[in-house]
Structure 1
Amino acid sequence: MVGDTLLIALYAAIGAACAGLLGTVALRLLRNRSVALSLAVVAAVTVAAMLAGTLLVSWAMLLSDHDLWVVTMVCAMAAVVSLAVALVLGRSVVKGSRDLAEATRALGDDGSFTPPATAPTAELAQLSHQLAATSARLTASRERERALEASRRELVAWISHDLRTPLAGLQAMTEALEDGMVEDPHVYHTRIRGEVERMSAMVSDLFELSRIQAGVLSLTPTRMSVYDLVGDAIAGADALARERGVRLVGEGVEPVPVEVDGREMSRVLANLLVNAIRRTPADGTVAVSARRETDSVVLCVTDGCGGIPPEDLPRVFDTGWRGTDARTPPAGAGLGLAIVRGIVEAHRGRAAVRNVPGGCRFEVHRTAARCKVARGAAGVEMGGVPPRPGAGG
């Protein structure tokens, strides 16, 4: 009995193996054809394997012709049904693939991708979702590229105007000096020097911004106290604050240690302070503060500009944006805040702005250093910045 069972299994395995081998050869020959045809081959191989095994077993067992005919007819009906189901499934998969290919072609043409309403298989559905996500990323990338290109064109136009105006003035003054039409040449010399210094500062800002946008800004982080950083920035901006009648104060500056490039971060604070002083009316106040929030340090510069229109808040840090149509001081070249954002992001920080009663507040978020500095290490325990020679108040 066991021997007969093993013999039947052997004959069935031989028949199935032959059918499977032929099916493998057929699939290899049809590998570049429609998936519907491949599914039909798979269904045919399944039925052929069963039929071949059955015929071999029937031959070995010496079944009657009638019994053999019955078995063959059953296998034939199974083959017809299997092939029909395989063809229906294959046509569904082919249609889904063609719809997905058509949608993908649109992605290559105009960047838009509309996924098919239904997908015949989970794999095609997943591929459709991935293509939709890729289309969204490409669209966002194109929008950023368009915005950047528009910003660059706008910046070139603005800088051209900013350079043309002082150059025209310099040319007029030099011609007047050459013709001897100036009663007091010293006045013209002073004006020429002032224009040259302003143009030099503009070129320096452009160079710094180009380094930031090119990703080649070299940083040398060192551990320092925010207290000292703010104190130096206030001392540097004090002369401009006095000239414009603006009070410059440090409020709640904590001696928190941070790992930053001192020179670049000083430029960040200087740009923020100059921007705040220029936009704060006389007798107004510009306040600087620094506080710890969880594992970060927040530097704040609050001015009395009266606030920024809500629709302009997202553009404050854009290159060349000034918030005014004026192209002369105090509007500046519109590069200071763009440089602020670039330097802060190079430090893996974040720059933000929001309106507060009477003005707006610029915030710089930066991760604090791990170790703590003892209180009083920066000159005070907590609170205001220590008085410096000539500090405004």
Structure 2
Amino acid sequence: MRIPLEDLLWIAWYATLPAAIVAAVGLGVLHRLRGRSVATQLIVVGVSTVVATISGIIVIALMMLINEHDLAVVLAVVTAAGIVSIGVSVLLGRRLISANRLLVEAVRSDPYTVPAVRLPAELAELSRELDAAYTRLAAAHAREQALEASRRELVAWVSHDLRSPLAGLRAMAEALEDEVVDDPGTVSRYHRRIRVEADRLAEMVDDLFELSRIHAGTLRLSRSRIGLADLVAEAVAGTEALARAKGVILHGDVQAGLPVEADAGELGRALRNLVVNAIRHTPSDGTIVVIGEVRDGEARVTVADACGGIPEEDLPRVFDVAFRGETARTPGGGAGLGLAIARGIVEAHAGEIGVVNAGPGCRFVVRLPLTT
């Protein structure tokens, strides 16, 4: 016998009322138990579902739509199904608790390792995210340790390099003040030396300030469209006197029409640092070649010197703060900041810098994106 649509709507309405009441009570209980385990909350969900179903059946029975025999059968079936569903909820809750414990133990272990057992999809995703987070934390910790080591090395190097010129300045100043030296030639020589040492100290302080801006991420670039040839020409012209004084031959060769979007002052400083570094480590009568070209869709500047090469184990550390190598610990060699500054400036321009041993010396390569 078909039940009229109107009767079906009334049955749905009266069955929904007790189910909604039970659902509201269940939500309230879940809110109170929100800090408890997932297993407990799953039991509450299962019990609420069974109670809502039974309450709906009882309401229908009170409306005299089913007889006592059918009511007993339906209640028995629903009760059995409810017991099974609650049991499944308990088992599922225990599985979630077990998987959660495995994940917690993995997090507490050092180092963190992804649990080998198969986890529920949500916990498996959380495990992968935790693994990625631990990887990033480990990388950040390694960078922090490297920066701290560089900082300590920098302090040691700067202290060493400041002590010598300061001691010399003090000795010459005291000699002039006490009139220990009074002949015009020596006095003039002392004055020139004081000026040289003061300029050297000022250069070191300037390098420290520039490096601090790079490490702090406060280096501000005033980008404009410039020709790479102009930057290389200025770097060669600005260091030509230093090369001539040491007897080093300096050549520059750049293709015309290589536009880059860069800060002319900062990028020019990076290139000068590379050329000055090459001059300092190239012996007299050696040759330094600076080449600018386009290769593989990018602008490249190569500074090739005749320094005799760098030990392979030192190549990865060449651009570290204050690294100069054993052979570079000579007076007037600077604080070992030039290459670190050059790397920071190049990377701030979205470029890359590297070094390899080639021929009679080293080849430093700066890669920059071309302006389209």
TM-score (norm 2): 0.87
Residue of structure 1 aligned with 2:330, choices 306, 328, 331: 328
CA distance in 2, matches of 1:168, 1:5: 103
Three-state SS of the structure 2 residue aligned to 1:304 is coil
Structure 1 segments of 4+ aligned residues over 6 angstroms from their partners: none
- Report the more deviating stretch, 315-324 or 72-81: 72-81
SS of residue matched to 1:243: helix
Match 2:349 to one of 336, 343, 347 = 347
State the partner residue of 2:366: 364
Higher RCO (Cα < 8 Å, 6 or more apart):
1
- Secondary structure in 2 aligned to 1:351? strand
1:149 maps to a residue whose letter is E
CA contact (8 A) 1:162 1:328 kept: no
User: Which residue, out of 273, 276, 282, partners 1:274?
Assistant: 276
Report deviation, 1:272: 1.0
Q: Which residue of 2 aligns with 1:89?
A: 92
Q: CA deviation at 1:70?
A: 3.1
Name the stretch that deviates more: 123-132 or 318-327. 318-327
Distance 1:62 1:166, change over 3 A: closer
| Distance in 1 separating the partners of 2:250 and 2:64 | 107
Matched ranges for 1:282-301 at <5 A? 282-293=284-295, 295-301=297-303
Name the counterpart of 1:308: 310
Partner SS, residue 113 of structure 2: coil
Matched-pair contact (CA < 8 Å) for 1:289–1:300 = yes
Q: Which residue of 2 aligns with 1:171?
A: 170
The number of equivalent residue pairs is 366
| Residue 2, structure 1, aligned to residue 3, structure 2 | yes
Q: Aligned-pair distance for 1:367?
A: 2.2
Structure 2 residue 128 is the aligned partner of structure 1 residue 126: no
Q: Secondary structure at the match of 2:283?
A: coil
Cα RMSD for the two superposed structures: 2.7
Compute the displacement of 1:85 (Å).
Answer: 1.1
- Partners of 2:20 and 2:227 in 1: how far apart? 79
Of all paired residues, the percent bearing the same amino acid is: 51
Partner of 1:198: 200
Distance verdict in 2 for CA 1:27–1:284, change over 3 Å: same
Contact 2:232 2:254 in 1 (8 A): no
Cα distance, 1:153–1:68 mapped onto 2, change above 3 Å: same
Alpha-carbon separation, structure 2, partners of 1:285 and 1:359 = 10
Deviations 1:167-194 (A, max 9, x none): 2222333344435257651333333333
Larger CA deviation: 263-272 vs 23-32: 23-32
Please state if 1:35 is matched with 2:38: yes
Q: Which amino acid aligns with 1:47?
A: V
Find the partner of 2:74 among 62, 71, 89.
Answer: 71
Letter in 2 for 1:155: L
Q: Give the letter for the 1:354 counterpart.
A: V
| Amino acid in the other structure paired with 1:199 | L
CA-to-partner distance for each residue in 1:73-112, whole Å, 9 max, x for gaps? 22222222111111111122123234434544x38xx8x5
In terms of mean alpha carbon deviation, does 210-219 or 310-319 score higher? 210-219
Separation in structure 2 between the aligned mates of residue 357 and residue 7 of structure 1, nearest angstrom: 94
Q: Which amino acid aligns with 1:364?
A: V
Shift of 1:19: 3.8
Q: How does 1:109-148 map to 2 (within 5 A)?
A: 112-118=111-117, 120-148=119-147
Within-5 A mapping of 1:154-303? 154-177=153-176, 178-180=178-180, 184-185=185-186, 186-293=188-295, 295-303=297-305
| Whole-Å separation in 2 of the counterparts to 1:149 and 1:182 | 48
Counterpart Cα distance in 2 of 1:361 and 1:54: 86
Query: Which moved further from structure 2: 5-14 or 247-256?
Result: 5-14
The answer on whether the counterparts of 2:303 and 2:363 sit within 8 Å (CA) in structure 1 is yes
Superposed counterparts of 1:48-67, under 5 Å = 48-61=51-64, 65-67=68-70
Amino acid across the alignment from 1:293: R
Q: Secondary structure at the match of 1:274?
A: helix
- The alignment partner of 1:366 has SS state of strand
Matched residue of 1:340: which SS? helix
Q: Distance in 1 between matches of 2:332 and 2:255?
A: 28
Separation in structure 2 between the aligned mates of residue 351 and residue 246 of structure 1, nearest angstrom:
24
Q: TM-score, normalised by structure 1?
A: 0.83
Instruction: Pick closer, same or farther for the CA change 1:216–1:40 going to 2, 3 Å.
Output: closer
Q: Partner of 1:2: helix, strand, or coil? A: coil
- Measured after TM superposition, the shift of residue 303 of structure 1 is 0.8
Shift of 1:65: 4.5
In structure 2, give the amino acid aligned to 1:158: W
Question: Which string of whole-angstrom CA distances, capped at 9 and with x for unpartnered residues, describes residues 293-338 of structure 1?
Answer: 3553111111111222222222111111112265433532101111
Gaps of at least 5 residues in structure 2 are: none
1:16 deviates by: 3.8
Residue 389 of structure 1: aligned partner: none
Of 293-302 and 162-171, deviating more is 293-302
Match of 1:386 in 2: none
